[in-house]
Amino acid sequence: MDRIASMPLGDSLASTALTDGIGSTFDLTTDRRIRLAIHLDDDTFQIFTKPVGSEEDQWRAGDFTAPGRDCPFDEAVSAEWGRGLSYVLRTRRRRTLAPGPPPARRDPAAPPSQERRLMRTIARNATRQIAKIKAEYSDCRKRSLDHDFASTPADASAAWAALATYSSARLHEWRDHYRISVHSNLWYELHRPGSKPEELATANGPRVLRSRLKLTM
């Protein structure tokens, strides 16, 4: 947490977006700037911009948009974190979007499409399902800011203890594993024994999860 607190604001916003992002989209503005919108949890977006063809140290953290609590920003992002943003831009599936505000938010009452439903939260009171997860997904890996988000072996009991201890912790079902998210800089991944977890992509910059950065809106 001290490392995040000591970051410049632009880098801190980029760090949060790269670790918590569940999707992204981009467009070109009329003044020839790339506008990258990273979709975070709770139907929020963090906007980043840079001139077309510019270097990775030209990214700027723009507006944070959320229902009822939009926050305007215009903060510089360092080249280190700019490489992570450029990686998101390069590896996602390109779409041509007209200049304008971030994509319209999905109606909460509408059922999510199969493409967009990339993860779901498991309720704490789903005791039978949780017991089955504990029995079948016993291979535990820990990722944290302290270890540059590298995958390190961990005791599954520590992950379940964190879920029980911290009210903000959540259990999420992903495509091929489960994740206990304690906070944005610490989570545990639960895999079936013998499965091969997805690797981290460095992109010559901050380490970011390939599985998170290749998602589309």
pLDDT (tens digit, 9 = 90+) per residue, 45-96? 899 999 988 888 899 998 888 766 678 888 999 998 999 898 888 876 444 3
Higher pLDDT, 119 or 161: 161
Which pLDDT band holds residue 139 (cuts at 50, 70, 90)?
A: very high
Residue 166 in this model has a pLDDT that exceeds 80? yes
For residues 139-157, give the mean pLDDT.
86
Which pLDDT band holds residue 7 (cuts at 50, 70, 90)?
A: confident
17 near 48, Cβ under 8 Å? yes
- pTM above the 0.85 mark? no
Residue 130: the pLDDT is 94
Which pLDDT band holds residue 206 (cuts at 50, 70, 90)?
A: very low
Residue 207: the pLDDT is 40
Which pLDDT band holds residue 131 (cuts at 50, 70, 90)?
A: very high
